[in-house]
Amino acid sequence: MDKYTLCAEDFSLDNQELLLGETLFHNANGYLGVRGCFEEGYPQGFSQVRGTYINGFYDFAYMGQAEKLHGLVEEKQTILNVADTQTITLKLEGETFSMFEGTVMKSRRVLDMRKGITLREIWWESPGGRQVRIKITRMASFVDTSLFLVRYELEPLNFDGTAELSSVHKGDVKNFFDPNDPRVAGEEIQHILIGETWEDGGASYILSNTSKSGKTVCSAVKNAAEEPEQVEAHGLSLEKGLARETFRVKLVRGKCFRLLKYTVLCDSCHFADPAGQAKEKLEALTAQPAKALYEGQERYLDAFWDTCEIDVNGDGELNRALTYNVYQLLQSVTKDRYGNIAAKGLSGEGYEGHYFWDTEMYILPFFTLTNREIARNLIGYRYQILENARENARQMGHKQGALYPWRTIMGSECSGYFPSGTAAYHISGDVAYSVVAYYLASGDLEFMEQCGAEIVVETARLWMDLGCWYQGKFHINEVTGPDEYTCMVNNNYYTNALAKYNLIWAAKLYGRLKEAGKADGLAERTGLTDGEAEAFVKTAEAVFLPYDEELGINPQDDSFLQKKLWDVSAIPEEDKPLLLHHHPLELYRYQVCKQADTVLAHFILEGEEALETIRKSYAYYEKVTTHDSSLSSCIFSLMAARLGMVEKAYGYFGDSAKMDLYNAHKNTKDGIHTANMGGSYMGIVYGFGGLRIREQGLSLRPCLPKQWEGYHFRFLYEDSVIEVRISRETCAVTLLRGTEKEIVIYDRPYVLRDRIEIPMEQGAGE
Ligand code: BGC
- What is the distance in A from the centroid of ligand 1 to the CA of 406? 10
Contacts of 704 (CB under 8 A, 6+ apart): 646, 688, 710, 711, 726, 727, 728, 760
- What is the distance in A from the centroid of ligand 1 to the CA of 555? 21
Radius of gyration, alpha carbons of the chain: 27
CB–CB of 413/65 below 8 Å? no
Cα–Cα dist 340/353, whole Å: 10
- What is the distance in A from the centroid of ligand 1 to the CA of 484? 8
Residue count of the chain, please give it: 766
Cα–Cα dist 234/163, whole Å: 12
Active site residue 484: yes
CA dihedral sign of residues 286, 289, 294, 295: negative
DSSP string, 132-184: EEEEEEEEE-SSSTTEEEEEEEEEESS--EEEEEEEEEE--------TT-TTS
Give the residue, by CA position, lying nearest to ligand 1 atom 7.
629
The string over 484-510, giving b where at least 16 C-beta atoms fall within 10 Å of a residue's C-beta and e elsewhere, is: bbbbebebbbbbbbbbbbbbbbbbbbb
Give the residue, by CA position, lying nearest to ligand 1 atom 8.
629
Question: Which of 329, 340, 358, 656 best tests ligand 1's pocket when mutated (most atoms within 8 Å of CB)?
Answer: 358
**Which uninterrupted H or E stretch holds 392?**
helix 386-395
**CA of 674, closest atom in ligand 1:** 12
Question: Which of 356, 363, 417 best tests ligand 1's pocket when mutated (most atoms within 8 Å of CB)?
Answer: 356
- What is the distance in A from the centroid of ligand 1 to the CA of 358? 7
CA dihedral sign of residues 473, 478, 481, 485: positive
CB–CB of 242/197 below 8 Å? yes
CB–CB of 671/713 below 8 Å? no
Cα angle 13-14-19, degrees, rounded to a multiple of 5? 95
Phi/psi region, residue 254 (left: phi>0; alpha: psi -120 to 50; beta: rest), is: left
Cα–Cα dist 376/22, whole Å: 31
**CA of 484, closest atom in ligand 1:** 8
Cα angle 424-429-431, degrees, rounded to a multiple of 5? 105
* C-alpha closest to that of 144 among 260, 289, 284: 284
CB–CB of 402/459 below 8 Å? yes
**CA of 628, closest atom in ligand 1:** 7
Give the residue, by CA position, lying nearest to ligand 1 atom 6.
629
Give the residue, by CA position, lying nearest to ligand 1 atom 1.
629
End-to-end CA, the chain: 38
**CA of 343, closest atom in ligand 1:** 12
How are beta strands 75-81 and 32-34 bridged, if at all?
unpaired
- What is the distance in A from the centroid of ligand 1 to the CA of 183? 10
**CA of 483, closest atom in ligand 1:** 8
Cα–Cα dist 497/544, whole Å: 8
- What is the distance in A from the centroid of ligand 1 to the CA of 40? 34
Give the residue, by CA position, lying nearest to ligand 1 atom 11.
629
Phi/psi region, residue 69 (left: phi>0; alpha: psi -120 to 50; beta: rest), is: beta
What's at 117, amino acid-wise?
Answer: I
Q: What is the pLDDT of residues 400-447, one digit of tens each?
A: 999 999 999 999 999 999 999 999 999 999 999 999 999 999 999 999
* Below-50 pLDDT ranges, the chain: 765-766
- What is the distance in A from the centroid of ligand 1 to the CA of 664? 16
Give the residue, by CA position, lying nearest to ligand 1 atom 9.
482
88 forms beta bridges with 167
Contacts of 239 (CB under 8 A, 6+ apart): 197
The pLDDT assigned to 763 comes to: 62
Q: Cβ < 6 Å from ligand 1: which residues?
A: 343, 351, 356-358, 482, 484, 594-595, 629, 631, 675
Cα–Cα dist 354/407, whole Å: 6
- What is the distance in A from the centroid of ligand 1 to the CA of 482? 8
- What is the distance in A from the centroid of ligand 1 to the CA of 571? 21
Question: Which of 181, 354, 484, 635 best tests ligand 1's pocket when mutated (most atoms within 8 Å of CB)?
Answer: 484
Question: Which of 406, 422, 630 best tests ligand 1's pocket when mutated (most atoms within 8 Å of CB)?
Answer: 630
Neighbouring CB atoms inside 10 A of 273's CB total 13
Cα–Cα dist 467/474, whole Å: 6
**CA of 482, closest atom in ligand 1:** 9
The pLDDT assigned to 183 comes to: 67
Give the residue, by CA position, lying nearest to ligand 1 atom 12.
343
CA distances from 403 to 139, 358, 536 (A): 39, 16, 17
**CA of 356, closest atom in ligand 1:** 10
Q: Which of 39, 164, 454, 484 is catalytic?
A: 484
Give the residue, by CA position, lying nearest to ligand 1 atom 5.
343
**CA of 344, closest atom in ligand 1:** 12
- What is the distance in A from the centroid of ligand 1 to the CA of 478? 19
- What is the distance in A from the centroid of ligand 1 to the CA of 137? 33
- What is the distance in A from the centroid of ligand 1 to the CA of 431? 16
**CA of 420, closest atom in ligand 1:** 8
